[in-house]
């Protein structure tokens, strides 16, 4: 009976996350992206398309803003009047779902199709989604992508010769559901199963996301934030970025060129799991 369940677990059902709460254990997947190392080559985005069976919508739908790139490489031109504005591009994040600890998208979904998982991911259940798109409306980063058409049956999304390259570990989404970056949850699950069989937790370096794997400059690091051995943990600590804070207290004495870590739109208190390392620019040095 659910009411007795409610009363028995009262403390548990009333506890809040992530503020004043213990971190996820034993896993909290997180990422750090060094924008200074990024060359803007788009390899991460391409790898994501291949790994996650993303539909290639084509020119016309792209022009309507209906593209499905879970990971997008953004460029901003400088508007200081220089002759070639693209010389002054400033900011080049690989933008994908930030896997927020307190995700704005989760609370608003009417059917509970998007939830916070035990290892700190923001999950999306395609089968449960009815396509109200409220999650996208409430996402400050706008990193959720909706299946505006039934891509598996649309011509030229996956031409016949390419159906063999679809990843069998990832479902192909039909029309009318929302999707987004999952931190390659299929890889994480597989690694966790292997580790569990051997009675341990997933080791650092044992699992990589597709984008991380494809990045030629190693700008992306991914791992278990609660594991003190992990590169992500070390990077977050070195940059003095704390997961459950909406304003980071940084050491004033350190040079700006050293403390480059930040999270996007932190003040909205979504507590993203992705830290970016600012690009070192002329003006900052």
Partner 1 sequence: MSKRHLLALYSNFDEAEAVVKELRTATINGFDVKDDMVIKSPIEHPEVEEFLGDKPVYVQWFTLIGALLGGLFGFFLISGAQANFYMQLKGGKPIVPFPPNFVLTYEMFILGGVFITILGFLICAGLPAKRSALYSSKVSVDNIAILVKAEEGAISVLKAIFTKHKALEIQEEAGK
Partner 2 sequence: MKDIREDIAWAKINQDVLKSLEAPRKLYWVILFFALLAFGFGLGCEVYQYQTGMGVANLNNPQVWGLYIATFIFWIGMSHSGTLLSAILHLMHADWRKPIYRFAEAMTTFSLMTAGLFVMVHIGRLWMFYYALPYPNDRGIWPNFQSPLLWDAMAIFTYLSSSVLFLFVGMIPDLAIVRDNMHAGWRKKLYTLLALGWEGTDRQWRNFRVTYLTIACFLIPLAVSVHSIVASDFAMSQQPGWHVTSFPPYFVAGALYSGCAAIITLFIMLRYVFKFEEYMTLPILKKIVRLTFAIAMIWTYLNAVEFASVWYSHDAVSKDVLIQKMTGNYAPFWWGMIFCGSVVPLVFAFKRFQTNIPVLFATSLLLNLGMWLERWMIVAPTFSHGYYPWTWDHDQWPSMVQWGMVFGSFGWFTLLFLIFCKVFPSVSMYEVKEMVYHRTLHLKKSEAAEEGAH
Which residues of this chain interact with partner 2, rule CB under 8 A?
2, 61, 64-67, 72, 74, 76, 95, 104, 107-112, 128-134, 136-138, 140-142, 145-150, 175-178, 265, 268
Backbone angles phi, psi at 34, to 5 degrees: -95, 105
Beta carbon nearer to partner 2, 63 or 217: 63
Beta carbon nearer to partner 2, 12 or 164: 12
Q: How far is the CB of 217 from partner 2 (least distance, A)?
A: 22
Beta carbon nearer to partner 2, 64 or 253: 64
- CB under 5 to 8 A by kind: which of partner 1, partner 2, none does 9 bind? partner 1
Q: How far is the CB of 13 from partner 1 (least distance, A)?
A: 4
Max distance between CA atoms of the chain, in angstroms, equals: 70
Beta carbon nearer to partner 1, 115 or 154: 115
Beta carbon nearer to partner 1, 60 or 267: 267
Beta carbon nearer to partner 1, 75 or 128: 128
Q: How far is the CB of 215 from partner 2 (least distance, A)?
A: 20
Which of these, 136, 135, 81, 75, lies nearest to 108 by C-alpha position?
135
Beta carbon nearer to partner 1, 2 or 165: 2
The residues of the shown chain that bind partner 1, judged by CB under 8 A, are 1-3, 5-6, 9, 12-19, 100-107, 112, 115-116, 122, 269-271
CA 214 from chain center: how many Å?
16
Q: How far is the CB of 8 from partner 1 (least distance, A)?
A: 9
DSSP character string of the chain = -HHHHHHHTHHHHH--SSTTSPPPSS--EEEEEETTT-----HHHHHHHHHTT-----HHHHHTT----SSEE------S--SSGGGG-----EE-----TT-HHHHH-TT--EEE-TTS-EEE-TTT-----HHHHH-SS---EE--S-GGGSTTTS-GGGGGGS-TTSPPP-TT-EE---SSHHHHHHHHHHHHHTTSPPPTTS---HHHHH-TT--EEEEETT-TTSHHHHHHHHTT--TT-SS----TTS-TTT--EE-TTGGGS---SEEEEPPP-GGG-
What is the residue whose two structure tokens read 């040095």?
A: 285
Strands 220-224 and 29-34, bridge-based pairing: antiparallel
Q: How far is the CB of 173 from partner 1 (least distance, A)?
A: 21
- CB under 5 to 8 A by kind: which of partner 2, partner 1, none does 110 bind? partner 2
- CB under 5 to 8 A by kind: which of partner 2, partner 1, none does 18 bind? partner 1
- CB under 5 to 8 A by kind: which of partner 1, partner 2, none does 29 bind? none
- CB under 5 to 8 A by kind: which of partner 2, partner 1, none does 258 bind? none
- CB under 5 to 8 A by kind: which of partner 2, partner 1, none does 87 bind? none
Q: How far is the CB of 105 from partner 1 (least distance, A)?
A: 7
Structure tokens of 223? 């791992």
- CB under 5 to 8 A by kind: which of partner 1, partner 2, none does 129 bind? partner 2
């Amino acid at each position: 009976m659910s009411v007795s369940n409610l009363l028995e677990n009262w403390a548990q059902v009333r506890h809040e996350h992530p503020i004043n709460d213990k971190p996820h254990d034993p896993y909290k997947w997180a990422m750090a992206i060094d924008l200074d190392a990024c060359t803007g080559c788009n390899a991460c985005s391409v790898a994501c398309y291949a790994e996650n069976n993303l539909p290639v919508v084509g020119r016309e739908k792209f022009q309507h803003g209906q593209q499905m790139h879970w990971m997008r490489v953004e460029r901003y031109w400088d508007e200081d009047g220089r002759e070639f504005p693209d010389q002054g591009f400033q900011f080049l994040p690989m933008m994908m779902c930030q896997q927020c600890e307190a995700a704005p998208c989760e609370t608003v979904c009417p059917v509970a199709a998007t939830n916070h998982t035990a290892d700190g991911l923001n999950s999306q259940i395609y089968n449960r989604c009815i396509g109200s798109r409220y999650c996208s409306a409430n996402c400050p980063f706008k990193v959720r992508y909706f299946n505006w058409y039934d891509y598996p049956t649309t011509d030229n999304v996956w031409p016949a010769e390419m159906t063999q390259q679809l990843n069998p570990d990832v479902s192909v989404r039909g029309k009318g559901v929302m999707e987004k970056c999952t931190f390659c949850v299929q890889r994480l699950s597989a690694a966790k199963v292997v580790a569990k069989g051997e009675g341990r937790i997933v080791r650092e370096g044992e699992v990589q996301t597709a984008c991380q794997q494809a990045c030629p400059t190693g700008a992306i690091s991914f791992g278990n934030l609660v594991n003190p051995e992990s590169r992500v943990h070390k990077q977050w600590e070195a940059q003095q970025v704390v997961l459950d804070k909406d304003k980071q207290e940084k050491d004033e004495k350190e040079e700006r060129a050293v403390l480059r870590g930040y999270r996007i739109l932190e003040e909205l208190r979504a507590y993203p799991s992705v830290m970016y390392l600012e690009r070192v620019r002329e003006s900052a040095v």
